[in-house]
Amino acid sequence: KENLPPFVIFQDPSLEDMAIQYPVNIEELKQITGVGAGKALKYGKPFTELIRQYVEENDIIRPNDIVVKSVINKSGMKVYIIQCIDRKMSLEDIAISKNLTSDELLTEIERIVASGTKLDLNYYLEEFVDEYHMQDIMDYFHEAESDSIEDALKELGENEFSEEEIRLVRVKFMSEIGN
């Protein structure tokens, strides 16, 4: 309908959590792993309607106690990262300030974007990623069947592209196209 790869709308962990929790309204959908308010409102209605219909037709008993996740520490970190990126702080400085490796920071950034928050990393990408590489990676994800980094590395060439630059540009792609 939107002419987007499916992984842009909801990634596999979100779909798996939906299959466990059976969210039947937007509020419940927002509690699903990787689904923020933005994605829930933008894409959620057809999903929750289909799930509600499935639950009713198959007499499914839904888990009533949605496990409270350790959100407090994570949300403080999330807000800090978003604010730092808004201030165009280098990712290295953000990682150092929170005692994270660059890989851990990138994983947090990926989670933030997967849950529907837009992040503008262009200031960082312009310095770190060759513009032709950036375009090749963006083009790849536009056409890709999945958001797999391994598949992207194989397709684009492991000798020419680094995992980190593919992950960073995937964040840009998901922010611009998916959110």
Which residues of the chain register pLDDT less than 50? 65-72
Q: Is the pTM of this model over 0.75?
A: no
Q: What is the pLDDT of residue 65?
A: 42
Q: What is the pLDDT of residue 81?
A: 93
DSSP 121-163: -HHHHHHHS-HHHHHHHHHHHHH-SS--HHHHHHHH-TTTS-H
Which tens digit of pLDDT belongs to each residue from 154-170?
A: 999 989 999 999 999 99
Q: What is the pLDDT of residue 107?
A: 94
Q: Which domains does the chain have, with CATH numbers?
A: 6-57 (1.10.150.80), 71-178 (1.10.10.1390)
Q: What is the pLDDT of residue 5?
A: 78
